[in-house]
Structure 1
């Protein structure tokens, strides 16, 4: 897929990995990037403005609470009505429950409902709503998962399970939407974003950085590293249903 002239929708697109993906698309010639947000309206507006300045003139911030089926359907319909097409969907919106790993009694049904609703069902809702447009465009979907979906790590039990389920959803959607639409996932390890400092304290972030320096590539990932992989996958016309881990090589070590 050539990104020149394309239209993309990015959930959770105002900050971090989502914003980096939008910038990568704009630099590659995308005509419009719809920056989805549910809370970070100011950041989403600023990101959309930056994307317009980079040449993606149709870019805009759009309210898109992935938990709300009607809101998701409305964004999908509006995107097609205004731009005539949608070529790329990046399911990046995510949340977590920070219950400590050893406190199983404290993991509530509400935590399961919230995290799965955003991280898993949200990705499904968005993909389903945009599937007709993506099929018509011969487009692609990229789900932002996590190394926590592969390993017993991450912010919580609930979070890791949600991301593991997202990997299986990726494979399932790749089968269902073929041959017109390709579906991928990307699994970052620790990434230097606001998310990392919000979920963990500063000491934990410093430990993550020190640990990363001992990995094969010796660096902590930044959002643009994840965006590089997303763009790379979009250029792979005969690959679907695959996941790429972005963790400086840590996952290859025992």
Structure 2
């Protein structure tokens, strides 16, 4: 059930629902976990075991009186990922939404497509394990629970996986993989589970890439809406696809303020 708040944002009654959000120590993941929890959802907050921001994020949510639990684990590691999902669902008692947000660029500086010499085996291994295989691992582990609840999966792809260069061609390839995986998971888990993705454009959040002020300003100038996305902008679409879009599945929704127009 939804209604428009004074802030012109959709509100949901998610009492009795439960979600797992990966990579939720900061940025899009934290914004999504926060929005879900403030709408009554019980949320498992996934983060890397050595990231102090994870427990801090959960503590802050609990201070608001919200239902949040810690779910430490590395989605980029086989075994660790599946164990994290099982433990998180065990603490929640059910699962209605999986948000595959965890990802990494694998680099700290933008690698232009022509710089093939900088695309190493190590880079491929890093981005493939987390950005693509991590999405599959989490989805596979969560599938039985989501089928039982007739729930949903929402993954975070990128405009780099559609028609933008992104931080590197390796990163873009993994995000293109997420787009394709979304379509086929939607086929494979239907009719019980809906599976969708979002493709963010330029986002103002804590990310490892040093874009530089010139590139940042260019992303604003090129966007039809003349601003960059915030994590809340993306969280709003994720929550909609998770709980308010009963006839949408297999789709990747571009959320970029018209940057790619």
Alignment TM-score > 0.5, same fold: yes
Residue 199 of structure 1 pairs with residue 226 of structure 2: no
Q: CA RMSD in A?
A: 1.7
The answer to whether the 8 Å contact 1:76/1:130 transfers is yes
Change (3 A) 1:79 1:62: closer
CA shift, 1:40, in A, is 5.6
Residue 169 (structure 2) pairs with residue 157 (structure 1): yes
Aligned residue among 24, 34, 39 for 1:28: 39
Point out 4+ residue stretches in structure 1 off by more than 4 angstroms.
none
Pair 1:242 & 2:254 matched: no
**Which of the numbers 220, 236, 239 marks the counterpart of 1:231?**
239
Say if 2:30 is the partner of 1:15: no
Match in the other structure for 1:108: 120
Mark the CA change 1:200 to 1:42 in structure 2 (over 3 Å): closer, same or farther: same
Give the corresponding residue for 1:138.
150
1:141, CA displacement in angstroms? 0.5
CA distance, structure 1, for counterparts of residue 118 and residue 40 of structure 2: 48
Q: Using the TM superposition, name which of 150-159 and 12-21 deviates more.
A: 150-159
Q: Secondary structure at the match of 1:13?
A: coil
Deviation at 1:209? 3.1
The answer as to whether partners of 2:48 and 2:54 remain within 8 angstroms in 1 is no
Of 167, 178, 186 in structure 2, the residue corresponding to residue 174 of structure 1 is 186
Alpha-carbon offset, residue 39 of structure 1 = 5.2
How many residues align structurally? 246
Q: Tell me the SS of whatever aligns to 1:69.
A: coil
Question: Do the aligned residues in 1 keep the contact of 2:71 with 2:87 (CA within 8 Å)?
Answer: no
| Residue 260 (structure 2) aligns with | 251
Report if the CA contact (8 A) 2:94-2:145 is conserved.
yes
Q: Distance in 1 between matches of 2:171 and 2:120?
A: 13
Does 227-236 or 208-217 show the bigger shift? Answer: 208-217
Cα 1:120–1:218, aligned 2, differ >3 Å: closer, same or farther?
Answer: same
Given the two structures, how large is their TM-score scaled by the length of structure 2?
0.88
Q: Higher mean Cα deviation, 175-184 or 101-110?
A: 101-110
Aligned partners of 2:159, 2:69: CA distance in 1, in Å?
Answer: 30
SS in 2 for 1:176: helix
Question: Quick check: 1:213–1:220 contact (8 Å CA) kept in 2?
Answer: no
The yes-or-no answer on 1:49 pairing with 2:49 is: no
CA 1:38–1:170 in 2, change beyond 3 Å: closer, same or farther? same
